[in-house]
Amino acid sequence: MSPKGRAAMGRLGGDVTPLVGRATELERLDTVLDRALEGDGGCSVVDLAGTAGIGKSRLMAEFCRRAQARGMTVLRGRATEYEQHIPYQPFSDALADHDMELTDRGATDRRGDRFGLQRSIAKLLVRIARSSPGPGLVVAFDDLHWADPASLELLDHLVRHPPNAPVVMVVARRNRQTMASLDAALTRGIDMGTVLRLNLGPLALRACVEAPGLAPGLQPGRAAELYAASDGNPLYFLALLQARQAGRNAGQDALLHATGLGSVLLDELTPLTAAQRRTAEAVAVLGDRGSAALLAAVSGRDEAEVDADLGALVERDLLRPGPGGRWALRHPVLRAVVHESTHPMERTRMHRLAATALADAGAPATERAHHVEQSLTGWDPQAVAVLSEAAERSASTAPASSAHWLGVALTHLPDQAQHATLRRDLMLRQARALGVCGGLRESRDLLHEVIAMSPPDEAGAERSVWASAVTLCAVMERHLGRYAEAVALLRRELSRTPGPSDADKVQLGLELGSSVPHATAYPQLRADVAATLDLARSLGDEVTQAGALSIAALGETYEGNMGAAREATDRAAALVDALTDHDLADLCEPLARLGWAEAFLERYADAERHADRGLAIARRGGQLYVLPHLLLCKSYVHLQTLRLDSAVELADEAETIARGIGSDELLAFVLTNKAYAQLFALPPGDQSALVVAEEAVAAAGTRTNWWASIAWCVLAQAAMLAGDPQRARAAVLRGGGDDLNGLHPSMRPLILEILVNSAILSGNTDAAATWAERARNEAEQLGLPSQQASALRSTAHCLSAGGDTAAAAELFEEAVDKTARGGAVLWEAFSLLLGAPLAVAGNPDRGSAMWTRARQLAVTGGAHQLTGLADAIHPLVHTVPQPPAPVPGLSAREREIASLVAAGLTTPAIAARLFLSPRTVESHLSRIYRKTGVTSRAALAVLQTRLELNDATSGTTGPV
């Protein structure tokens, strides 16, 4: 075959060897393609695993060929052995023709983050799949066992959040060399039903020697000898066959016996001239990035001479052409053999020349850093500057690569006094990078070194490196769940002599308060927070004042001290709202704490507003630690106000970040909130929320802090919905202790409702009454509408169990009123559904109206659990629907608009429904507000709903 023909085959199929012995695997792969083309819009992943040379790449090439034959778009990328720290290399390779910048996204303005990039890639795959002329998309990634950490994290995201489009991802990897994170991601996908794993084993003897096998016509004895030596590995078999043929052509009649695959492959290099060998070595150095011009620069020869060598190497089937005029050796194993057999000094020189040539061509530091690293033999300021720049450019999108390059720079930095400042700077940056990519312990240990290296007199310097290291170290300790150690570190450093500057003191003081209420009771730190607030006020530091007040707001809210909580929340909100985003750029945690305090105080609009602002600031500044807290705060608000699709989506995003950070402590909190949203978002009978809740308590481990106790309570709620009241009771007591004092005080009435239901279902009505009485007492002290409504429901459960359904119905309706006025739409719908079957006994129309309103809220809010409950009780409450009662003084059109507002429709939706302009609808609303005396859509919805309920009971209307 001519070099041109051989190159064409290599370019088309990725391998010119015949595909043999994989009929079963091909049948299963055809099924995957057929399913993708059925139009269900689903995504699937194929995991091709096996040893080197077993045929993974060849099978992948055949899969891609069959996909193309079906009209699908096919993208291919690969990871390479010696470039394992180049961020997103396989994805950049696959998406090279789609104008998607991966490695330097947000490098200069710090607006990018790797989790935003993950979502962007997922959306891009959907867009490609849906806009392609064919019926779907195949994305194939080869040699994923060499992928960089950022690529593995992105793949994990795609497996856990499959693109909603006909997308098939195929990954090929060596199972024994696969990183644990990649194996875990794919295994998790198998459990989810989105990953098909094919473990490729050795070929059978027949597949190797019988037509159309690897060596048809070979004498049986020779074939058996080759097969035995290769252990059925097709790459090894072909290499031995080629070595035998080379020996025969040279007049050698005996089979060449090699000590291993590397030795066999080295025999292929023996006939090469020195120039051809040097070109092959240059290709090995450059991987699959070697253009003729770059190869000429690296080998130190003319481009015309290199072109001649390339032709000869293609003729010998050592090289394969790639896109963009680039060249690569035939197989990664061959590349490794050539690279490692190159003289070390020559290899170092080639990498240095490659780095220089790439710099001359304007390549970014992230592309040059690999060659700089391979060529470093000692201290080189210019080389370290490249590594430092690459680390900076990848800090937000690929922190593991950033940490690696900073580590390389530190390794070559001389341990001399003149480099002490640079060393601490690099160590601090490396610690930050490690802290956001899962290396929490490594980051913490490195920060302790930075603290120990700090000069004694630096503590008094303004905004010192020492204070930054201490604060970040405490953050790492918190994420490791070591709150006591974090507090001890901060107290020790605050008391050191000479003491820290006032600016550093407020920074450390804020971090000291960060353990509230996660593991430290706020009363234990109330004085410290107050001292930090006073010091910040004396400095005129409004940002720190806002931070201290936000800590106080969350701490007092958690403890149930509602008077102090409201005061601190009001003061914190006033300060935060007066500050600019620039003021909060480096410290947006106050927005997270303030948002949570407002959410627990049931000020949902304020909580969402502050969470949104915090998310915008945190994304711009790359503050990944705080993003999950802000996302979950918003998710919690959407859950309470019954916007469940977005609540689950926000929790999913928080989960992605938590897994990337690697904190079990944070992951437990994230999974708890995700399970809580899923409890109501998923239909009855779906056990997914229970599974997530179980993972949450597993991540919490033996901890007894706030997040752990909440995880156990959500597990209890999931167990109740799964029909296991005994497990529910045990979970609540595990989370709060026998006296329940370990539970979140300001949410305890709602948790007590779980125990009330558990006791009633278990036949222990006395215990249920005791729990209900405690819930009533605590709810009255809190004065929070949702908690009061929960206490009312608990009492109603007890009354209903005792046969007093009329009294129970009244309490459920009172609970409806509480939640509606407080804006907790979730609990309004829940209370309506519980009360409807009881209300129907006294007034069928009233019960029907309650049911209709509840189901309407559930459907609009995406609460499939509640929708299922509504459908289940429908026969108990079904009556002929009654028209809504008119509001006195309103015109027919105004009454119609008021009814649609109560149904939850927005102004544009009402305008579309009634064929009016949005401005006309707003004019009608203004008149409605004036006539009814209400001042908001929420209040109008409450008024209209209550009038409907009153009308269903008495047929009359009256003031609320």
Q: What's the pLDDT tens digit per position in 537-570?
A: 999 999 999 999 999 999 999 999 999 999 999 9
Coil, strand or helix: which one is 139?
Answer: strand
Q: Please determine, for residue 74, whether its predicted confidence score (pLDDT) is greater than 90.
A: yes
pLDDT, tens digit, for every residue of 746-781?
Answer: 999 999 999 999 999 888 999 999 999 999 999 999
Q: Please determine, for residue 422, whether its predicted confidence score (pLDDT) is greater than 80.
A: yes
Look at residue 808 in the predicted model and tell me its pLDDT: 95
The answer to whether the beta carbons of residues 320 and 61 sit under 8 Å apart is no
C-alpha torsion sign, points 599, 691, 699, 401: negative
Look at residue 449 in the predicted model and tell me its pLDDT: 95
Spell out the residues 6+ positions from residue 378 whose beta carbon is closer than 8 angstroms to its own.
412
3-state helix, strand, coil in the chain (%, to 5): 70, 5, 25
**CA-to-CA distance for 276 and 272, rounded, in angstroms?**
6
167-174 and 43-50 strand pairing: parallel
**CA-to-CA distance for 863 and 639, rounded, in angstroms?**
9
Better pLDDT: 881 or 184: 184
Q: What is the mean pLDDT of residues 613-626?
A: 83
Q: What is the mean pLDDT of residues 445-459?
A: 84
Q: What is the mean pLDDT of residues 481-486?
A: 90
The answer to whether the beta carbons of residues 693 and 714 sit under 8 Å apart is yes
Q: 198 phi and psi, to 5 degrees?
A: -120, 110
Better pLDDT: 28 or 230: 28
Q: Please determine, for residue 686, whether its predicted confidence score (pLDDT) is greater than 70.
A: yes
pLDDT, tens digit, for every residue of 234-277?
Answer: 888 877 776 666 554 433 333 333 345 677 677 788 889 999 99
Coil, strand or helix: which one is 625?
Answer: coil
Name the least confident of 262-276, 631-645, 680-694.
Answer: 262-276
* Average of per-residue pLDDT values in the chain: 86
Look at residue 812 in the predicted model and tell me its pLDDT: 96
Q: What is the mean pLDDT of residues 207-213?
A: 65
Q: What is the mean pLDDT of residues 512-517?
A: 91
**CA-to-CA distance for 642 and 157, rounded, in angstroms?**
26
Q: What is the mean pLDDT of residues 177-202?
A: 85
Better pLDDT: 246 or 850: 850
Look at residue 390 in the predicted model and tell me its pLDDT: 96
Question: Band of the pLDDT at 458, cuts 50, 70, 90?
Answer: low
Question: Band of the pLDDT at 349, cuts 50, 70, 90?
Answer: very high
Question: Band of the pLDDT at 191, cuts 50, 70, 90?
Answer: confident
Question: What does the buried/exposed string (b/e) look like for 614-653 if buried means 16 or more CB atoms within 10 Å of the residue's CB?
Answer: bbebbbbbbbbbbbbbbbbbbbbbbbbbbbbeebbbbbbb
Name the least confident of 59-68, 329-338, 917-926.
Answer: 917-926
Look at residue 52 in the predicted model and tell me its pLDDT: 86
Q: Please determine, for residue 731, whether its predicted confidence score (pLDDT) is greater than 50.
A: yes
Name the least confident of 140-144, 160-164, 543-547.
Answer: 160-164
Look at residue 244 in the predicted model and tell me its pLDDT: 63
Q: What is the mean pLDDT of residues 116-127?
A: 89
Look at residue 888 in the predicted model and tell me its pLDDT: 59
Does this model's pTM top 0.85? My answer is: no
* Joined tokens for residue 796: 């109603």
Q: What is the mean pLDDT of residues 27-49?
A: 85
Q: Please determine, for residue 50, whether its predicted confidence score (pLDDT) is greater than 60.
A: yes
Look at residue 169 in the predicted model and tell me its pLDDT: 95
Q: 326 phi and psi, to 5 degrees?
A: -95, 160
